[in-house]
Amino acid sequence: MAASLPTTADGYIDTTAQETKDTLEQRIWDIDEQLSNVESIDDDSDFSEFSTTSSTDTRDIQREWDENMEQGRQLFAMVIFPYVGRWIGKKMSYWVWTRFLQHHYKFPLHQRQFSAAPERRLVRDTAYPFPLYYHLLPPTSTSTSTTATTAKATYALSFLPTFPQHTRQVVGYLNHSASDSEGSDLQVKPNKFTENEAFNNVLHTVIQQNLADDPMVESVLQQQLEGWTHIADYRNPAPYGRIPLPEDIFGSVQIVDGVIQPESYQRMPTHRIVSSLGLFQLSDHLHERLVHYLKTL
């Protein structure tokens, strides 16, 4: 008969079962630790993803803010600043002009008087080859006795039919006695005319910038390739081959290799805006450019 296996009742300890139990517990412990590591990795991944998303959103917000600020700066530089500057410039030019008329002609100017252009009388000079307008300024009077006054009128001469909004649009000022009948003897004469230096500067600027395109100047180039030529006043044309009078020369310009050099233009100091023959006269081309420039002021 075969011998029976020992049991725990006989004092036998089954080490194999104990080892199996320990191994099983160790495996369970390892599995729990691995699961814990996996959860930790998932948590770190979620945080990293959240951090990346948050950083991206912050950059987008900052970029959008910078774009809005740049648009605001462009709006101010291209729209608001030019508009405000132009408005201030008009106000300043109005203020300077009113003070000039007040001190030079002793006019008691007021805001309403200066801006009421439709109430002023407008006269057009039909004898001048180009449209020329006389804008009546507010009247003044000079006392000659205790019972009578001699009224005088002053006109602002302009090539524009609308009342000038800038001093540079005024050719000059014509004094006229109100004792004359309306519209009579309203002629530009040296003893009744006061020049406007601001307009004179505009006149010579326009001549210098546009004389190279003037057909009358181009005709000179067909006969002269070098040297200096005069820009003549057409109110008193000189005979062919003769030099105009000093008071009828706007200025001189140099010709090099048959090409006009506008930057060499020199203003003639003896030129007179008004002479005994009347107001100055430009060529058709230069007069057109002058009127165009005056309209832009």
Domain boundaries along the sequence of the chain: 27-115, 117-194, 199-296
Which SS3 state, helix, strand or coil, does residue 180 take?
coil
pLDDT of 24 reads: 67
E strand or H helix that includes residue 184: none
Q: Tell me the pLDDT tens digit for each residue of 271-287.
A: 999 999 999 999 999 99
Contact 230, 243 (CB under 8 A): yes
pLDDT of 274 reads: 96
Per the rule left: phi > 0, alpha: psi between -120 and 50, beta: everything else, 183 is left
Strand order in the sheet with 259-267: 227-232, 249-256, 259-267
Q: Would you say residue 1 has pLDDT above 90?
A: no
Give the number of residues written for the chain. 297
Q: Tell me the pLDDT tens digit for each residue of 185-207.
A: 678 999 999 999 999 999 999 99
pLDDT of 265 reads: 97
pLDDT of 132 reads: 95
- Token duo for residue 81: 């600043």
Q: Would you say residue 35 has pLDDT above 80?
A: no
Q: Look up tokens 């003897």; give the residue.
A: 185
Q: Tell me the pLDDT tens digit for each residue of 208-247.
A: 999 999 999 988 888 898 999 999 999 999 888 899 999 9
Of 103, 162, 109, residue with least CA distance to 133:
162
Using CA atoms, how far residue 121 sits from 116, 118, 134, in Å, is: 11, 8, 8
pLDDT of 60 reads: 81
- pTM to 2 decimals? 0.58
Using CA atoms, how far residue 11 sits from 5, 7, 8, 14, 143, in Å, is: 12, 7, 5, 10, 153
- Token duo for residue 280: 């100055």
E strand or H helix that includes residue 28: helix 15-75
E strand or H helix that includes residue 104: helix 81-105
Average pLDDT, the chain: 78
Distance CA 40, CA 22 (A): 27
Using CA atoms, how far residue 195 sits from 151, 157, 176, 177, 189, in Å, is: 22, 10, 15, 18, 11
Q: Look up tokens 């008691």; give the residue.
A: 108
